[in-house]
Amino acid sequence: MHMNPFLVATFGGVLIGLSAIVLMAALGSIAGVSGIAGSLISGGVSGRAWRMAFLLGLLAGPTILWLVFGDSGIGVPQVGLPWMALAGLLVGVGTGIGGGCTSGHGVCGVARLSRRSLLATAVFMVCGVFTVYVIRHLLGGL
Amino acid sequence: MKIMTALMSGLLFGWGLSLGGMTQPAVVLGFLDIFGRWDPRLAFVMGGAVATTALGYRWVLRRPQPLFEDCFRVPSLRHIDGRLIGGAALFGIGWGIAGYCPGPALASLGGGSLSVAVLLATMILGWWLAARLLPAQRNLVQPASKDHRRTS
């Protein structure tokens, strides 16, 4: 079965939006993955149980797709282990001090037209594009 | 009910990421590679997600409170500072190196790749470091205020 990839991508985005609406309507919270996971690590917040449940659902989602349709949609890493380790550290520190990631700033914050989130999203997009440009077109790949 | 609803929300998020191709770092890096063979799919995912969320929030935030909590905890910080910009810049660089942001990294763990597990471990270390070095600013305490109704 061939479906337009852009239609499928848009539908995926709509599901993410529904996820954010459900979390706000039921628990009054932004669906920001770095915020939800980070607050579990820094500790001291109430609502640990539902945060764990949200992350569990996120983790289980693709596996359920695999069980039902035979395809989890999970792709393979594109860079070696040391680069993966460095990338993880930068993403963790960056989203930790910047107060959000692609979901918290990029989806929920932009949807609220938050000035901070619009700026953060522009900055991480530009830095991501710049990094890929340097790696692929100046260095010739990692 | 809180836990079941949060689990459902997480599942929807994971399904959306997977269908949108966001659990494939090649697709994410292809989007960021605007000077190469550009793959615009991520823009459609973001567009669909932002439009849906914007419409849904307009309706949800007009209610007096969420179903299972006392108030909406919407971010209250307004100022732009070096912390916001520097953090977003570091995040963007890390995102551009491997093609994983936090959601897809977690959703990809089920694929059983060791290097995804390592990336997630260093990401957790990063959150811990950030929380230690720069404790969280006062945020997320504001009930839905005027500025969210301004758009309605």
In 3D space, the residue among B59, B141, B147 whose CA is nearest the CA of residue A29 turns out to be B141
The domain ranges of chain A are 78-142
Interchain proximity A28–B99, CB inside 8 Å: no
Question: Would you state the pLDDT for residue B147?
Answer: 45
Question: Would you state the pLDDT for residue B145?
Answer: 46
Q: Report how far residue B53's alpha carbon sits from residue A105's, in angstroms, rounded to the nearest whole number.
A: 12
At residue A108's C-alpha, the angle toward residues A87 and B1, to 5°, is 100
Q: With beta carbons less than 8 A apart as the criterion, state whether B138 and A99 touch.
A: no
Question: Would you state the pLDDT for residue A14?
Answer: 98
Residue A16's Cβ-side half-sphere holds a number of Cα atoms within 13 Å equal to: 35
Question: Would you state the pLDDT for residue A125?
Answer: 98
- The whole-angstrom distance between A18's CA and the closest CA on chain B is 7
Report the amino acid identity of residue B64.
Answer: P
Distance of alpha carbon B140 from the chain centroid: 15
Q: With beta carbons less than 8 A apart as the criterion, state whether A84 and B45 touch.
A: no
**Candidates B3, B11, B25; nearest CB to A49:** B3
DSSP state of B136: P
Enumerate the residues of chain B whose CB falls inside 8 A of the CB of residue A128: 32, 92-93, 95-96
Enumerate the residues of chain A whose CB falls inside 8 A of the CB of residue B12: 15-16, 18-19, 22, 57, 61
Give me the residue label for tokens 């393979």: A76
Q: With beta carbons less than 8 A apart as the criterion, state whether A40 and A52 touch.
A: yes
ipTM surpassing 0.90, yes or no?
A: yes
| Window B:14-73, CB contacts with A under 8 Å | 14-27, 29, 32-36, 40-42, 44-57, 60-61, 63, 65-73
> Which token pair is B63?
């209610």
In 3D space, the residue among B26, B54, B61 whose CA is nearest the CA of residue B41 turns out to be B26
- Contact of B3 with chain A, judged by CB distance below 8 Å, is answered with yes
Segments of chain B scoring below 50 in pLDDT:
142, 144-152
Question: Would you state the pLDDT for residue B137?
Answer: 65
Question: Would you state the pLDDT for residue A26?
Answer: 96
In 3D space, the residue among A110, A9, A104, A142 whose CA is nearest the CA of residue B15 turns out to be A9
DSSP state of B142: B
Tens-digit pLDDT profile for chain A (142 aa)? 578 999 999 999 999 999 999 999 999 999 999 999 998 987 766 889 999 999 999 999 999 999 999 999 999 999 999 999 999 999 999 999 999 999 999 999 999 999 999 999 999 999 999 999 999 999 998 8
Question: Would you state the pLDDT for residue A1?
Answer: 56
Give me the residue label for tokens 């790749």: B113
- Cβ-proximal residues to B60 (8 Å cutoff; 6+ apart), any chain: A21, A24, A25, B66
In 3D space, the residue among A92, A91, A106, A115 whose CA is nearest the CA of residue A20 turns out to be A106
Question: Would you state the pLDDT for residue A142?
Answer: 85
